[in-house]
Amino acid sequence: MTIQNLLQNKERRFVLVGGKGGVGKSSISSSIAVKFAQNGQPTLIISTDPAHSLSDSFDQNLNQSIPVKINNIDNLWAMEIRPEDAGGDFKSLAGLDDNEEGIDQMMSSLSSLGFDEVGDLLDTAPPGIDEAVALAKVIQFIDSDEYAHFERIIFDTAPTGHTLRLLSLPDFLDGFLGKLLKVRVKMSNAMAGFKSLLGMNSERDNTLEVLENLKESMRIVRELFRNQQTTEFIIATIPTIMSINESERLADQLRIEEIQVHNIVVNQVMPENIDCKFCSVRAKGQKENLDYIKKLFSNYHITEVEYFDTEIRGLDSLKMMATHLLGN
């Protein structure tokens, strides 16, 4: 399926745009979202990139962790989630909030019982856990009745390294949480005995339930990414060797993860301009790289987007870019 066909194929409810940092992922994903909205399709665009750019793209404050209606256009909402908040919640998800009354004394007592690994385990949560927890929360949101009316949901993802880490995280996290669950069972039993000795009542501990729900959310994320009917993953790149090589690694990893990619968007392509020596030299160098891209990604649909002489910021610019991407 070409990226132009994507506009009419409403089965692709979820669209993820990924690639190297600085290639214009936010501009590309925002432009696609604008085009869907213009086509009468209620659309939500979500940024999972810790360094959010959606607010800049739409020239509107979106850093509220809730969908915000985009001004001056129908059918379009945007949201910048805060992975750092979700990461900060990890200990509380495990029932080990540092602010919990008496936690220091309990941890000290547990240490004497042979549970020293608990603190280290939680303090060294795996890289990407914050993004994973945040994305899992988003999945829970979009599965709710409140978000059911969105026909399209676009993910403006973090740079390639974060994306690859997130893609491989569910399997790793399953093992990590499995270990944590076992430790938590020991802790729950020890805490219950400790409180009993002090004559304290033991409150119901729902940590295991919370962590199991998190594991299930990770499974949903993985299945969402792999669903060939409902999900489209678009790789964004620019015609430089570094970006091309990184895009190749991303494409290879997506294939390993059984996530299908049909489209490569090559952004910032310099048009030929014989009146500008710098432009002419750069266009010549890019042409060689574009030929390399076409050879390297011969099994993909490649869409070129020219280098604009204006910053892609605000609705007018996004509409212009959307026309280049998806047509009139």
Which amino acids are annotated catalytic?
49
CA quadruple 235, 240, 245, 246: dihedral sign? negative
DSSP assigned state of 73: -
How far apart CA 67 and CA 65 sit, in angstroms, is 7
Strands (E), 70-136: 76-80
Closest-CA residue to 14 (of 118, 209, 147) = 147
| Alpha helices for 156-305 (secondary structure H) | 160-197, 207-226, 241-256, 277-296
Hey, is 67 helix, strand or coil?
coil
β-strand 231-237 against 76-80: which pairing, if any?
A: unpaired
Kindly give, in sequence order, each residue whose CB lies less than 8 Å from that of residue 34, ignoring residues fewer than 6 positions away. 73, 76, 315, 318, 319, 322
User: What does the block give as tokens for 190?
Assistant: 């020890």
Strands (E), 61-191: 68-69, 76-80, 152-159
Contact 75, 41 (CB under 8 A): yes
